[in-house]
Structure 1
Amino acid sequence: MNFQPLQEISTDKLILKKISEEHRQFISDLFQDPDIRKYYIVPKEAQQDYRQLVNYWFLDISKGAGYAWVIYKKGTGLFSGDKPCGFFAFEFRDSLKNARISYALAPKYRKQGIITSIAEIIIDKLKELGIQTIEADIDKDNVNSEKIIQKLGFVTDKRSAMIDPEMMRDGDIRFRYLWRKDLFDYSSLEFYVVREDDFSKLFAPDTNFRVWEEEVSDGPSFGFMNSFRKPTGRYHFLFQGNTTEAVVGLSSNTTSTYNVPWELVREEIAGTKRFMVFTGWGDAISGGNQQFEGHEIGISSNIIYNIILNLKKHNPNRFSDNTIKNIIGLEKFQI
């Protein structure tokens, strides 16, 4: 990956300079702040001498596994030089598509929007490099950092706290949350991605679920006499319920409600997510609503998997193992 465009980044008030040997003492001085020592995860080898933390960043940069900068606040006068005030870093986790950011700022420079401004720039740069997700590992008590991450659009599940053994100090177990931001542009897909907070509107208690076996003709039709049809062993899955055009991305209309069937056609991976793609039925001849005909929506695969398992549990005859494994679009589903 080409890190050349990342070496020095400048704004009206700030400069990001690639970490170098001359920054060792600054990093050591920065970690004299108790909050930084408390919240920033440092490898054991560097906890006795924080200058050694620079070695880890050097190694990441040399291997193309991450990058680090010292943040400078630009001087405002003739005799006022640029002042180092913190650092910002990222490292790849699991793949080159997922980066985890970290940062620290000296106390006198906090609450000035510095980290927010820098993070927005770096996230845009990482997106240009093809990064699809950004993570941030935040201590549950680090309220200020949590506010920054939330403002940047990161989300987390606070039911899933992490405990890092290296953060156990004097018997104090510290809980952390992994915050994530998805950089993939889902609006560019051929189907509309249904928002998670709209799932309950699509799958209401009165939603109807159907499955039926596909049949094909064994020959040509003659007038009103159709040839015999035979089953193929493949099944179609459909759900039908009330929705609005806004829920499925047709318009911003949230008031007019329509009863629409949605048939599963395929599973598709986009970014870091899996979607079950459904196509709408809207045959106007049979009284349907034509705007939904052929309109495709994507729903998180996990949601559909859970629905299928629930249907199997409560209606095992209709949703048998054999039926489920032969449903079109569910080929990758594991019973």
Structure 2
Amino acid sequence: MFRIARTLAMAFLVAVAATAATVLPAQADAQELPGGKANYVVSLGHLRDAARNNWVRLGTYEFDAAAGTVAARMYVWEHAVPKARVGTGTVPDSSCSSNDLKSTTHVLACEIKTAGGFTGAPTELRTGVYELRTVTIDGVATPIVWISWNHATAWTEQWKIETGTNLARLSFLYNTKATTGYAYGSNAPLTTRRAMSSVQSHPADIKLQGTSWAKDVTQPIAGTFGHRNFRTCDTTTWCLTYLQPSSSAACQKEGGCPHYGGGTAANVSSIQYYLQKLSNIDRRDTMWHWCSCLALERGETCYTGNSHVKPMYQVIDDTGTFRGWVGVEASYWPNGGEDPRKSDMFAVYRLTDAL
């Protein structure tokens, strides 16, 4: 359970509202760490119905209490600047994939894809100053962290500080540019990550919460992530796979599979899931999934159409324990058309045991 952290940083109360947020941190001064934690993984997004200026960001915030400063290292995907999916170089080995189109247990042996740019270094490096404040939210004195970024245009954000066992959470309150976001922090170095075998064997349930955008509509997303259903791989140990059966309803949405989606044969109504570590030196993972019938409709084994690519950062607590991910989706429509950006798919979400 998370609880609201107590802070002695500010003794006064102010109202939290975008229109009233006019007093910004003027300079960098020594502060306590938000929730007592220095290192946060963060997903942010601007998602609006019928918009074409959406974006998602994923990366890290590092707080320096002595200086009262914060540094962001972010990957950025903008609606108006589509990025093609890229291969990760990993094809799951035969213990967790198959070349048999009729397999009912194993995903197909395809090179795992991720969002363009995620295999390289973060492209957006920002610095800012922060303050811990106490504000009144629904009549309750609540600790928040207030960040002011050094940016060409005014950019501030406010998060409610909540603490749990060995982990802190920043709950989204306000952001000049974003509409939604998630952040989790600990004092484990951002170079600390857990292996895929630890992910698969994590004992706690991992829950999904977030916001998605597709076909001009934003909507909440929620559910439970079945990480225990994934297979570990004997040789390609940095990836996990899962063939989700009987998913014809999801795959048939809007008539996506007129020839194959109604069948019950192997793979015809399944979803292929791939989960992969992207780095030994940071917390990047990526998830790729697509409906089997969509590939069959195109005469393909490995789908080259509008598959889902979801970059993620592992949430690691003070003890080095895996607690889930924060992530985004940045799946750009690859097939052209009159308004291809309408068919892009974006999301900002958290998959954690610490909702």
Asked which structure has the greater CA Rg, the reply is 1
Report the TM-score range of the alignment, normalised by the length of the smaller protein: under 0.3
Q: Which has the higher contact order (CA 8 A, sep 6+)?
A: 2
Greater strand content: 2
Greater helix content: 1
With the length of structure 1 as denominator, give the TM-score of the two structures.
0.26
